[in-house]
Structure 1
């Protein structure tokens, strides 16, 4: 697959993966929390809504490196990049949704509400096209022939 083909495939996979396991590398070491992704941009910029007072927001201020992993029934995505805490009320209002409201009552005007922007530096995916049946067939083939598991794999660097 071409670099653009890998990128397009990655974006399509992520359409059904709204929740990331978001890992920061602050002074207390690695810490992972679930975070709801707000949008996937073709230019590898991702947005998250969070509270300014959280441990992961403080960790990003100390060390912007992050790792994110996403999964669905038959695909997995791993991303690395740099995160930044962004105070942009217009962007926050644009991305605001009922899910954010559940975690941060008061809407985008809540003084604790803030954005995290992640600029993706590298992404990797594993996809088992055909879903569960194809995965079972591939697993059976592996057991019978000793060949490796069939999965589409790609690496994307913006």
Structure 2
């Protein structure tokens, strides 16, 4: 596992253009529940931000067990961020992160008491990055299968 600045920078770079992630929480019975969520801040500084509806099941899960995971992928690269989730009541931050996309789910705006933030404080991440586009990744996979050589790419676990 690594904690160097370059590895952390790589995680930030892989996350920067992503707009959707899959948030996994732990239900009270121990079941893992995953659901797609829109990432609200593209500048990764160790925190990931999401909007949620007050009283939602995901917030109840986080209140009971704050351990969460967010998986993000684009075909050629994937990032899995493990951390701690928490409900955040911050009107200024809600206004800062608000967008028309969020309004589709929470139509009463950022000042609505139903709109709350879910912050994920990242503790570690693991990433898989293959060179090139989706086609290059597929070709690399085919080459690997044909030659018996290891698939080209990078995989590292990072403490954040």
| Fold match by TM threshold 0.5 | yes
| Cα shift at 1:47 | 1.0
Q: How does 1:1-158 map to 2 (within 5 A)?
A: 3-28=4-29, 29-158=31-160
Q: TM-score scaled by structure 2?
A: 0.91
| Cα shift at 1:2 | 7.8
Query: CA-atom RMSD, angstroms?
Result: 1.7
Give the 3-state SS of the residue equivalent to 1:108 in structure 2. coil
Q: TM-score scaled by structure 1?
A: 0.92
Give the 3-state SS of the residue equivalent to 1:154 in structure 2. strand
CA separation in 2, counterparts of 1:148 and 1:110? 52
Q: Report runs of 4+ in structure 1 exceeding 4 Å deviation.
A: none
State the number of aligned residues.
Answer: 158
1:53-110 per-residue CA deviation (whole Å, 9 max, x = no partner) reads 2100111011100011011021111111000001111111111111111100110111
When residues 96 and 112 of structure 1 are mapped into structure 2, their CA distance, relative to the original with a 3 A threshold, is same
CA separation in 2, counterparts of 1:44 and 1:150? 28
| Cα shift at 1:40 | 4.3
CA separation in 1, counterparts of 2:68 and 2:95? 24
Where structure 2 has 5 or more consecutive residues not aligned to the other structure, the ranges are none
Give the 3-state SS of the residue equivalent to 1:61 in structure 2. helix
